[in-house]
Amino acid sequence: MSRRTLAVVSAGLSQPSSTRLLADQLAAATRDELVRRGESVKLRPVELREHAHDVVNHLLTGFPSAALREVLDTVTGADGLIAVTPIFNASYNGLFKSFFDLVDSAALVDRPVLIGATGGTARHSLALEHALRPMFAYLHAVVTPTAVFAAPEDWSGGVADGALRARITRAGAELADQVHRRSPSTGPADPFALTTTFEEMLGRQDS
Amino acid sequence: MQFGVFTVGDVTVDPTTGREPTEHERIKAMATIALKAEEVGLDVFATGEHHNPPFVPSSPTTMLGWIAARTERLLLSTSTTLITTNDPVKIAEDYAMLQHLADGRVDLMMGRGNTGPVYPWFGQDIRNGIPLAIENYDLLRRLWREEVVNWQGRFRTPLQSFTSTPRPLDGVPPFVWHGSIRSPEIAEQAAYYGDGFFANHIFWLKEHTQRMVGLYRQRFEHYGHGSADQAVVGLGGQVFMRKNSQDAVREFRPYFDNAPVYGHGPSLEEFTAQTPLTVGSPQQVIDRTLGFRDYVGDYQRQLFLVDHAGLPLKTVLEQLDILGEEVVPVLRKEFDSLRPAHVPEAPTHASLRAAASGDLVDAEAGR
């Protein structure tokens, strides 16, 4: 049995937030499936709202505060990532994009990711496919085939028995499967690690 | 330990008056700041190099040569010299000439430059930043150390039987620092040659600077230049002082809030907590600066940024007076008393010349 970490990022702005509610349900479904497969799971929720000022400050100054550094390390060092945003103007909200703009472009390579979104109408649902999925594809993450969108009617229709519940369970199982088949994460990349010798950088053979 | 100021050379509107200095005013102000640095007893003046507005110092050796002629003791340096987009041959020539005119009061800090569009103006590409820094600097070293250079590389036209003139003063090349905010390759480069490493320090958390300096020290020892605590480290710092710390905060806040680099971002309070920026009384600056030693070890050079973000010249000169009268004498005494005997001072022309002639004596004795 290995110990797995799931980072659960929610870009919801209101409190309580339906985006956070969806994120928590996706996290629980993934955890349950991993536990069923004999893994132990630690969930690491990240409410981007709490870091909104730090995110903007990092964009402007070029470096993260200590608190934001920890959050970025949590996200880039996890075994799996659940990323959920409200849909604004047909795409992820600005906070969600600004946060992921601060993630190094190599930090999520081959990382299993489950994407989710909430919106005021089901007509926003394809934003998952035309906005979130391409962004994570650019980052070379492995996005599960099922992405989960929750519209107001999904919540009012009785979550436990509705179609939303089925999609959450399926998506969680897909993410768990991707996490399960990989070796445990070794944590965030070390920004101070050198990958070549200085002689190689100089273009010389050992002399 | 050496203390000094480093300037970016930005032309910035004074947010309290709305007035922007002319380029001429800014250039003359930089020169005045350098002369003042010597007058108040600082050791180093370092100028940035930029080739795009709103910055004026595109021609550092012209400025440093002018300052050299009007000073006696001040060490003239750069922050930084663009090792990526300058021809290393021209750097070798310009700084050797400056070294002669300044009687050896010259060293340099190598940097890459982070403005993408500047590179193609000089026929380069920012994506080659690190390889350029490495190849160009290796050539620069050879030009200063070998009488006749035959060379071929990736970025510059080959050299056949080339002699860079003038030769370095007394055959001793200027000491070189390598400056970097975030690239471990540059700490490695500095360690490889046993050169100095200058951590910008002012645009990142102290934990980050600690890691970078730690990496440089460890690799310096690895390459056999001495123990890790003998590596040559410089740090940036940023201060604004008034007798009463509340006055300092009140006066500096509009400059901070509108500063080109971090303005409209974190609050002054957040930024002072996260970075070495210290806005307060001279005693607060003394305490904070002494604290740098706790996370980088004993170090050799402390440069302060005091003349940016539109601060008027009069204010900057007052800052230099406070540094010279109240801050640096205390720091000098405190740092010197804390530093163990085996940790060296930063190399100077005199110490490098003495070391070189010592090597020669050793070599002759061995023969």
Assess contact for A83 and A126: CB atoms under 8 A.
Answer: no
Contacts of B132 (CB under 8 A, 6+ apart): B83, B84, B85, B112, B124, B155
Mean pLDDT rounded to a whole number for chain A: 93
pLDDT (0 to 100) of residue A206:
44
The per-residue pLDDT of chain B, averaged, comes to 96
Residue A104 sits in which domain range?
3-201
**Residue numbers of chain B with a pLDDT score lower than 50:** 367
User: For residue A197, what is the nearest residue in chain B, using CA coordinates?
Assistant: B188
Omega cis (within 30) before B80: yes
ipTM above 0.90, yes or no: no
The CA distance from B204 to the nearest CA of chain A, in Å, is 6
Chain A residues 164-193 with a CB less than 8 Å from chain B: 191-193
- Over 80: is that where the pLDDT of A204 sits? no
For residue B8, the model assigns a pLDDT of: 94
pLDDT at A9 over 90: yes
Q: Is B261 on the interface with A (CB under 8 A)?
A: yes
pLDDT per residue as tens digits for the range B41-93:
999 999 999 999 999 999 999 999 999 999 999 999 999 999 999 999 999 99
- Band of residue A162 on the pLDDT scale cut at 50, 70, 90: confident
Domain total of chain A:
1
- A202 part of contact set with chain B, CB < 8 Å: yes
Q: Determine contact: A1 vs chain B, CB below 8 A.
A: no
Q: Which residues contact A101 (CB under 8 A, 6 or more apart)?
A: A59
Say what the pLDDT of residue A205 is.
44
Average pLDDT of the residues in A73-92: 97
| DSSP per position, A62-118 | SS--HHHHHHHHHHHHSSEEEEEEEEETTEE-HHHHHHHHTS-TTTTTT-EEEEEEE
B205: nearest CB among A66, A192, A203: A66
For residue A107, name the pLDDT band (cuts at 50, 70, 90).
very high
Using the Cβ of A98 and the Cβ atoms of chain B, whether some distance falls under 8 Å is answered with: no
Q: Which of A202, A206, A207 to mutate to test the interface with B (most CBs of B within 10 A)?
A: A202
- pLDDT above 80 for A169: yes
Is residue A17 situated within a structural domain? yes
Q: Report the amino acid identity of residue B328.
A: V
Q: Kindly indicate the confidence band of residue A156, based on its pLDDT and cuts at 50, 70 and 90.
A: confident
Residue B365: the pLDDT is 63
Q: What pLDDT does A207 receive?
A: 40
Per-position DSSP letters for B163-190, written without gaps between them: --SSPPGGG-PPEEEEEESS-HHHHHHH
| Peptide bond just before B166 cis, omega within 30 deg | yes
Q: List the domains of chain B with CATH numbers.
A: 2-366 (3.20.20.30)
CATH code for the domain in which residue A172 is found: 3.40.50.360
Q: What is the pLDDT of residue A12?
A: 97
In a domain, A207, yes or no: no
Asked if residue A89 is part of any domain, the answer here is yes
> Most A CBs within 10 Å: which of B238, B270, B277, B295, as the mutation test of the A interface?
B270
Q: Report yes or no: B208 at the A interface, CB cutoff 8 Å.
A: yes
| DSSP 8-state code for residue B73 | S
Q: Which two tokens stand for residue B345?
A: 């001072």
Q: Is B270 on the interface with A (CB under 8 A)?
A: yes
pLDDT in tens, A13-70: 998 899 999 999 999 999 999 999 999 999 999 999 999 999 999 999 999 999 999 9
Instruction: Tell whether the model's pLDDT for residue A82 goes beyond 90.
Output: yes
